[in-house]
Amino acid sequence: MLKRKIIVAGNWKMNLDLQAGYKLTEDVIAGVKTIAHVETVFCTPLIHLVGVSAQTNNHSHMSTAAQNIYPKPSGAYTGEVSTAQVKSAGATYVLVGHSERREYFHEDNQFLAAKVDAVLAEGLTPIFCCGESLAIREGGEYLEYVANQIQESLFHLASADIEKVVIAYEPIWAIGTGLTASPEQAQEMHSYIRKTLASKYGETTAESISILYGGSVKSSNAAEIFSKPDVDGGLVGGASLQADEFIKIVASA
């Protein structure tokens, strides 16, 4: 099996003022600077992106991510930000398709495909989020639902481009609820995502793509989840706002 990049990304969402964000980054850097086999990614609000990118710049295994972009290069789109802008601020990654963007801002699979294209065109790496609600999980069609998200937003890409994408599976029912998919449930979905990719791009390409788990990841469950063969790290929400907790999660990978 190919050796995939192990990534632990902390999504701050709309939290922390400027000074608190810089202090959190400083504390996390101190704790993870020797964990070089894991790429630690700070998904910050836009106000932090320049500063946190500067803080992580001297560490080859640390990066920053924008939480969102608009898929136009420039123009009269008040309140939005382009891929060129976030790249100039130091971002390496961009979150695309987070469940909160889908739910609150009604971003559909076609719009997310345009975002993926814009991110790749700028030489950045999309972290493409996918996942199902509790109703879909209980209805039993969760595997097909997530496969459809991937097919509609990513399957237009050439093999050379799909290899540049990171996928994050986030069961919506486990985000901020305290519920967590069991390691077995995470592995089932991650394996199915990889098989879905292989059906289009072949096993070699599918095996090269990092697939992260996101959904109430904590230091108490991270090691067991990350130990599964198709789980290549995590997309961490609330726990990434606590330096000690996030450091333990990174160490678990």
Element (H, E) at 7: strand 6-11
- Residues 179, 138 contacting (CB under 8 angstroms): no
CA distance 246 to 42: 11
CA atoms within 13 A of residue 174's CA, in its CB half-sphere: 22
Catalytic residue among 39, 107, 132, 170: 170
Sign of CA dihedral 194, 198, 203, 208: negative
Name 31's Cβ contacts closer than 8 Å, sequence gap at least 6. Answer: 243, 244, 247, 250
The amino acid occupying position 74 is S
Rounded Cα distance, 106 and 253, in Å: 33
Q: 224 catalytic, yes or no?
A: no
User: Is 98 an annotated catalytic residue?
Assistant: yes
b/e string for 62-84 if b means 16 or more Cβ within 10 A?
bbbbbbbbbbeeeeeeeeebbbe
Q: One of 98, 100, 122, 190 is an active-site residue; which one?
A: 98
**Residues involved in catalysis:** 98, 170
